[in-house]
Structure 1
Amino acid sequence: MRRALADTVQWWGRNRHAILFALLIATIAMGPLLSVTGSGGWLLNASLGLTLLAAAVAPTRDRVRRRGLLVLAVAAIVLGLAPIRTGFGETGPLTLALWSAIAFVAATRSFRYAMSSARVDREHLLAGLNTYLLVGVFFGAIWVAMEKAMPRSLLLGGAPIDAMVLPDGIYFSFVTLASLGYGDFTPATPIARGLAVFEVVFGQLYLAIMVARLVSLRIAVLARDDPP
């Protein structure tokens, strides 16, 4: 039993960023799917909770910090899923803000891990992708929390939003992060506009930094393999 548990922990450690990447992609895809099927929003909350948990338990040298993050993640999941919601967007703004704060810490850790590599491998590349996806998914939670706490922070087609839900928040977050600017959702208050500008700037700078990092690592590998 102990041997099996140890093997599971080692497997998790070797594939933690691949697992987190799969959970993030599933969470992003789940919103539109649930909207079409009419399923309960608790599935999306559960997916977000599992993603948060996977991000929180990623191995790190600082055990105290990891355990503290794990406790916060479990508390956020309990707040988000009990009582289980039957529709979208039932989670309160404080819980959504807590989810986003934990995700910010997890994204920071993923970014540091991605930048620590001297070569490009699967886990470090996925860590870089996870940072981008974590920011996009959990910025979506921030947008929903803002609209709940400060109604009319966002407009839909120039009109107030009746009830912003998590799939809408995730959609608007990635549209903003990638600076697509479709124009369906628009920030209407100074705070919302400032947050949108911050997310756009982060998205563009992050992609530039990651591309520069990958190119520099590739050039370094070629220089070692083919010395002058």
Structure 2
Amino acid sequence: MATASTPPPSRGDLIAGNRLLDRFDLVLLLVLAVIVSQTLVDTRGSVWGSLVTHSVTGLALVVATRASGARRRVRRILDVLVVLTLVSNVALLLPSGGAPIPPDSLQPEGVWLLPALVLPVIIGRRLLQHQVVRVQTVLGAVAAYLQIAVAYATLFQNIDGLTAAHFFGTQVSTTVYTYFSLTTISTVGYGDFTATTDLARLAATSEAVIGQVFLVTFVALIVSRFAAGPGRGAATEVPSESATGDAAS
């Protein structure tokens, strides 16, 4: 039985320098690194902690957009966003000398919210272009699922900082948002932290629903196609928009 071979990188991808196309193994590792850093490092009141977490988050977003074949314009915008965020964190270190900063002086970082929310969609769109499912496709589906939890953790933190009432009824460590997001999307629900406002409850329930729908439909479909596919290491894929767009420019 003949199987499709993996096509070489297109000229457009080489022109754009996008050698990370479909490297969803790296994306998954970086998303896991984001989850670990956000779970262990409290960024509220700690500039060093904020710098470390933002560095990992920014790197994950940069690699994920390239692996997903995003347009070069989108990648450039995100690159500028990451650089400006890291520069602002370094600037905060200069006057403080790395000393602790009062908790109220560091507000929730809404700068990552939109990219974090859009990233699972970008990854999923690229995975649907894979005509033959392979290992990288499965890893991409898992990375997109975990990225939903990261995006909601960012959303929870911003809701807490921008509304009058606290998300959990009282101020908590920033590590709690990621913990709560993971227990919500997995529907574990330990009950040690509970959303107390109407907006907070809406956000939490929407994550549970979206996460389960994504898991039992998209991820399950990818995994089943991978298990039934004729060639696990082969793939014939639709060229990315970045390739066609950059080649034409």
TM-score with structure 1 setting the length: 0.75
After the TM superposition, which of the residue ranges 196-205 and 166-175 deviates more from structure 2?
A: 166-175
Higher helix proportion: 1
Give the equivalent residue in structure 1 for 2:11.
none
Contact 1:118–1:217 (CA under 8 A) maintained in structure 2? no
Distance 1:206 1:61, change over 3 A: closer
The alignment status of 1:139 with 2:146, answered yes or no, reads: no
CA RMSD of the aligned region, Å? 2.9
After the TM superposition, which of the residue ranges 143-152 and 167-176 deviates more from structure 2?
A: 143-152
Q: What stretches of structure 1 of length at least 5 have no aligned partner?
A: 1-5, 223-228
106, 127, 144: which is aligned to 1:114?
127
CA distance in 1, matches of 2:32, 2:124: 18
CA distance in 1, matches of 2:53, 2:25: 20
The alignment status of 1:22 with 2:29, answered yes or no, reads: yes
179, 182, 195: which is aligned to 2:190?
182
SS in 2 for 1:183: coil
Please give the per-residue CA displacement for 1:59-115, whole angstroms capped at 9, x wherever unaligned: 62632333233333433444455424757896423xx22202112222211111222
SS in 1 for 2:165: coil
Distance 1:216 1:24, change over 3 A: closer
Q: What stretches of structure 2 of length at least 5 have no aligned partner?
A: 1-13, 232-249
SS in 2 for 1:75: helix
1:135-214 matches, cutoff 5 A: 135-155=148-168, 160-162=169-171, 164-209=172-217, 210-214=219-223
Give the equivalent residue in structure 2 for 1:123.
136
Give the equivalent residue in structure 1 for 2:107.
92
CA distance in 2, matches of 1:214, 1:89: 45
CA distance in 2, matches of 1:181, 1:18: 29
CA distance in 2, matches of 1:89, 1:116: 45
Give the equivalent residue in structure 2 for 1:218.
227
CA distance in 2, matches of 1:145, 1:33: 19
CA distance in 1, matches of 2:88, 2:181: 23
Contact 1:154–1:161 (CA under 8 A) maintained in structure 2? yes
Residue 201 of structure 1 and its aligned partner are, at CA, apart by 0.4
SS in 1 for 2:69: coil
Residue 165 of structure 1 and its aligned partner are, at CA, apart by 3.2
TM-score with structure 2 setting the length: 0.69
After the TM superposition, which of the residue ranges 126-135 and 190-199 deviates more from structure 2?
A: 126-135
After the TM superposition, which of the residue ranges 63-72 and 175-184 deviates more from structure 2?
A: 63-72
Structure of greater relative contact order (alpha carbons < 8 Å, 6+ residues apart): 2
Distance 1:125 1:146, change over 3 A: same
Residue 135 of structure 1 and its aligned partner are, at CA, apart by 1.4
Contact 2:27–2:60 (CA under 8 A) maintained in structure 1? yes
57, 70, 84: which is aligned to 2:79?
70
CA distance in 1, matches of 2:185, 2:36: 17
CA distance in 2, matches of 1:102, 1:217: 28
Residue 151 of structure 1 and its aligned partner are, at CA, apart by 4.5
Residue 33 of structure 1 and its aligned partner are, at CA, apart by 4.3
Residue 54 of structure 1 and its aligned partner are, at CA, apart by 2.5
Contact 2:138–2:222 (CA under 8 A) maintained in structure 1? no
Count of aligned residue pairs for this structure pair: 204
Please give the per-residue CA displacement for 1:28-47, whole angstroms capped at 9, x wherever unaligned: 22345447xxx942322322
